Amino acid sequence: MTVNGCSPAIHSYLSIRGTLHAMSKLITVFGATGQQGGSVIRSILQDDILSKEFKIRGITRDTSKPAAQALLKQGVELVSADMNSKESLVKAIQGSHSVFLVTTPAWGVAGSDAELVHGKNVADVAKESDVQHLIFSSLLDVTKETAGRLKHVPHFDQKAQVEQYIRSIGVPATFILPGYFMGNYTSFGMLRKGDDGVYTLAYPIGQDSQFPLIDIASDMGKFVAASLKLRSETLGAQILAAAEYYTATRILAEYEEVTGRKTQFMQIDPETYKSFIPGPMGEEMLENHLFIEKPGYYNGRSLKESQDLLKKAGFQATSWKSFLEENKSTL
Ligand SMILES: NC(=O)c1ccc[n+]([C@@H]2O[C@H](COP(=O)([O-])OP(=O)(O)OC[C@H]3O[C@@H](n4cnc5c(N)ncnc54)[C@H](OP(=O)(O)O)[C@@H]3O)[C@@H](O)[C@H]2O)c1
Banded pLDDT at 187 (limits 50, 70, 90):
confident
Banded pLDDT at 123 (limits 50, 70, 90):
very high
Continuous H helices in 154-259: 154-169, 183-187, 216-229, 231-234, 248-259
Q: Is the pLDDT of residue 294 over 50?
A: yes
**What is the 105 CA–ligand 1 centroid distance (Å)?**
8
For the stretch 137-168, pLDDT in tens is 999 999 999 999 999 999 999 999 999 999 99
Task: Label residues 104-114 b or e (16+ Cβ within 10 Å = b).
Answer: ebeeeeeeeeb
For the stretch 65-117, pLDDT in tens is 999 999 999 999 999 999 999 999 999 999 999 999 999 999 988 899 999 99
Maximum separation of any 2 CA atoms in the chain, in Å: 81
- Structural domain boundaries in the chain: 8-330
Q: Is the pLDDT of residue 330 over 90?
A: no
**Residues lining ligand 1, judged by CB closer than 6 Å?**
30-37, 59-62, 82-84, 102-105, 118, 139, 155, 178, 180-181, 184
60-64, 104-108, 128-132, 232-236: segment of lowest average pLDDT: 104-108
**What is the 277 CA–ligand 1 centroid distance (Å)?**
20
Residue 43: what pLDDT? Answer: 98
User: Please, what CATH class does the domain formed by 8-330 belong to?
Assistant: alpha beta
Span between the terminal Cα atoms of the chain, in Å: 64
